[in-house]
Amino acid sequence: MPADTDLGGKVALVTGGSRGIGAATALRLARQGADVAVTYAGNKEAAEDVVRALRALGRRAVALRADAADAGEAAGAVERAAAFGDGLDILVNNAGVGLLGPLEGLSPADVDRVLAVNVRGVFLASQAAASRMTEGGRIITVGSCTALRVPGPGATLYAMSKAALVGLTKALARELGPRGITANIVHPGPIDTDMNPADGPYADGQAAMTALGRFGTAGEVASMVAYLAGAAYVTGAEFVVDGGHAA
# residues near ligand NDP by CB under 6 A: 32
Question: Shortest distance, CB of residue 225 to ligand NDP, whole angstroms?
Answer: 10
* Residue 195 binds to ligand NDP (criterion: CB under 6 A): yes
- In the complex with ligand NDP, the residue whose CB is nearer, 32 or 193, is 193
User: 141: which strand partners?
Assistant: 93, 185
Residue 81: CA count within 13 A, CB half-sphere: 36
Interaction between residue 95 and ligand NDP (CB under 6 A): yes
Q: Which residues are catalytic?
A: 158
Site for ligand NDP in 18-37 (CB under 6 A): 18-22
Closest C-alpha to 86, from 37, 26, 29: 37
CB closer to ligand NDP out of 212 and 232: 212
Figure out which of the listed residues 5, 31, 33, 43 binds ligand NDP, where binding follows CB under 6 A: 43
Could you tell me which residues come within 8 angstroms of residue 58 by beta carbon, excluding any fewer than 6 positions away?
A: none
Residue among 16 and 230 whose Cβ is closer to ligand NDP:
16
Nearest to 188 by CA among 148, 151, 233: 148
Look at the alpha carbons of 32, 81, 145, 194 in this order and tell me if their dihedral is positive or negative: positive
What mask, x for binding ligand NDP by CB under 6 A, covers residues 59 to 78?
A: -------xxxx---------
Kindly tell me which of 3 and 109 has the beta carbon lying closer to ligand NDP.
109
Q: Cβ distance 224 to 143 under 8 Å?
A: no
CA–CA gap between residue 59 and residue 62 (Å, rounded)? 10
Return the residues of window 102-141 that contact ligand NDP according to CB under 6 A.
Answer: 117
**DSSP 8-state class, residue 193:** S
Least spacing, CB of residue 9 vs ligand NDP, in Å: 26
Residue 94 or 235: the one with the smaller Cβ distance to ligand NDP is: 94
**Interactions with ligand NDP, residue window 153-182 (CB under 6 A):** none
Nearest-approach distance from CB 168 to ligand NDP, in angstroms? 13
CB of 24 to ligand NDP, least distance (A): 8
Verify binding: residue 243, ligand NDP, rule CB under 6 A: no
Spatial distance between the Cα atoms of 247 and 244, rounded to a whole number of angstroms: 5
Q: How far apart are CA 118 and CA 142, in angstroms?
A: 10
Interacting residues of 119 by C-beta distance below 8 A, sequence separation 6+: 161, 164, 165, 168
Using CB under 6 A as the criterion, which residues of the chain lie in contact with ligand NDP when the complex forms? 15-16, 18-22, 39-43, 46, 66-69, 94-98, 117, 142, 144, 188, 190-191, 193-196
